[in-house]
Homo-oligomer: A and B are copies of this chain.
Amino acid sequence: MVQEKKRKICFIITSRNHYARSKLILNELKRRNNVELQIIVGASALLSNYGDVSSFLKKDGFKHDFKIAMAVEGGSSLAMAKTTGIGVTEFATAFYNLEPDLVVVRGDRYEILSAAVAAAYLNIPLAHIEGGDVTGSIDESVRHAVTKLAHIHFATNKRSKDRILRMGEDPKYIFNFGCPELELIFKNKYKVSGEFRGVGNVININKPYLMIIQHSVTSEIDRNRDNITKTLQAVHELNIPTIWFWPNIDAGTDEISKGIRIFREQNNPENIYFIKNMPAEEFIGLLKKSLCLVGNSSSGIKECSYLGVPVVNIGSRQDGRMRAKNVMDTDYDKQHIKLAIERQIRRGRYEPSNIYFQKDTSRKIAQVLARTNLYTQKKFYDV
C-alpha cells in the first residue's frame, strides 16, 4: 500500500491577535493525517511587550518550527518598512530550510507581506485568509498586494469574495467560509477568569465597564499622539470603569504609548486599567460582557457584530469595511466620542449579525488547504 505523502503546510503567526484568530484552523490542520503542520512565529508575536505567542502556543499543544525576530525599533513608518524588508529575507531563509508545500498567511498586517513575497518568489503556493476587505491605513494596500501574490483565497464575507474576483483571481480558488474568529465565539471557546494583569486600578469585571482598543493609523502618523489623547480625555471624563489595551506594533505605536504614559503621569486616571495582552478566550469573554468597545480595532467590526456589542469606531482605520448595525462612527473629537459612548451605552446590546459568520469555517479552510490542487504560475483571470 502506498503511503500518501503528507502535505507540509506552513502557518505564519506574527501577532497575538493573529494567533487567537487562527487557533481553530491550527487545530483542524494538526488533527489531519495528510498534513504536516509547520508553524513560524515572528515579528511582534515574539515581543513580550506585544504579547509573546510562544508560551500560548506551547500551552495549547503546538510547537513552532522556526522563530523570526524581525521588528525594527522606532514605531515609525521607516521601522515598518525595514521590518518588512528584513522579514522577506528571514522568511526566505525559513522556507528554504523548512521546504513547505504551501504557506498560509492571514490578514493585512504590514509584515505578512514579507512572508507573502518570500513564498511567491520561491514558487511556493500561498493561501491568504481575510483578503478582499476594505479599510484605511497601510493595511488597505498590504491586503490587496498579498491577494495579487496569493494562490488560494479565503474571504470572510461575500463582498470581499467579489472584490477578489474582480481583481483577476481564479474563481476556483476563491472561497467564502466566513470569519474564523467568530467560530471561536460560536463554539463558546471563551471564559472570564479575570486572570490578567496590567497597570492602574484593577477594574471589577462583574460591574459594567468599557473596553478601549485604539491602534495607530499609519497614514495619519503625525496625528496619532493628539488622537489618542482625545480618547483618553473622553474616557477619563466619563469616569466609567474601563479596560484599556495598549496598541499593537503598527508604525506610530510609540507615539500612542507615549500619549498614554504622559496622560497617566499627569492625570492619574483612576477609572482606567491598562493591559498589554491576555489569552484570546479571556478577551472574548470580556468583550462579550462589556458595555461598549471604543477605538478602531477590527474586533469592533467583526467579533462585536456577532456578539451584538455596541461599538464606537473612531477615525479612518476601519473606513470602508462592511459593518453591522452595532457600529457608531465618530471622528477624533473628545465631545463626539463622549456622546457616542453615552448613546451606545443607552442603546445597549444589538441583535447579533451574521454578516461575517458561517458554520464550520475552520474545518472547511483546513480541508481546502489539505486537499486542493496546488499551482504556482498565476494568471490574471479576465472575466
Interface residues of A (CB under 8 A from B): 46-49, 66-74, 76-82, 84-93, 96-97, 110, 113-114, 117-118, 120-123, 134, 136-138, 140-141, 144-149, 163, 166-168, 199, 218-219, 221, 249, 251, 254, 261, 265, 316, 319-320, 376-380, 382
Contacts and interface: CB of A to CB of B under 8 A. Distances in A.
29 contacts: A47-B73, A47-B74, A69-B72, A69-B74, A69-B93, A72-B73, A77-B121, A78-B122, A81-B117, A84-B88, A85-B114, A86-B89, A89-B90, A93-B93, A110-B121, A117-B117, A123-B218, A123-B219, A140-B377, A140-B379, A140-B380, A141-B378, A145-B149, A147-B148, A163-B168, A166-B167, A219-B376, A219-B377, A319-B379
Contacts of A47: 73-74
A125 to B, nearest CB: 11
A123 B85 contact: no
Contacts of A261: 199
B66 A78 contact: no
Given A85-B86, A123-B77, A97 B379 contact: no
Contact of A113 (B72, B77, B80, B117): B117
Contact of A78 (B69, B76, B221, B380): B69
Contacts of A166: 166-168
Contacts of A113: 117
Interface centre among A117, A136, A168, A319 (most CB of B within 10 A): A117
A46 to B, nearest CB: 7
Nearest to A94: B93
Task: Rank and list the top 3 A-B pairs by shortest CB-CB distance, nearest first.
Answer: A85-B88, A85-B89, A81-B121
Nearest to A114: B85
A90 B93 contact: yes
A320 B320 CA distance: 33
A331 to B, nearest CB: 15
A380 B254 CA distance: 29
Contacts of A122: 77-78, 81
Contacts of A92: 69, 78, 81-82, 85
A117 B71 CA distance: 16
A138 B121 contact: yes
Nearest to A265: B199
Given A89-B81, A149-B145, A163 B121 contact: no
A93 B110 CA distance: 18
B77 A82 contact: no
A221 B121 CA distance: 11
A134 B382 CA distance: 10
A379 B86 contact: no
A380 B88 contact: no
Nearest to A85: B88
A254 to B, nearest CB: 7
A80 B69 CA distance: 11
A68 B81 contact: no
B67 A96 contact: yes
Contacts of A90: 85, 89, 93
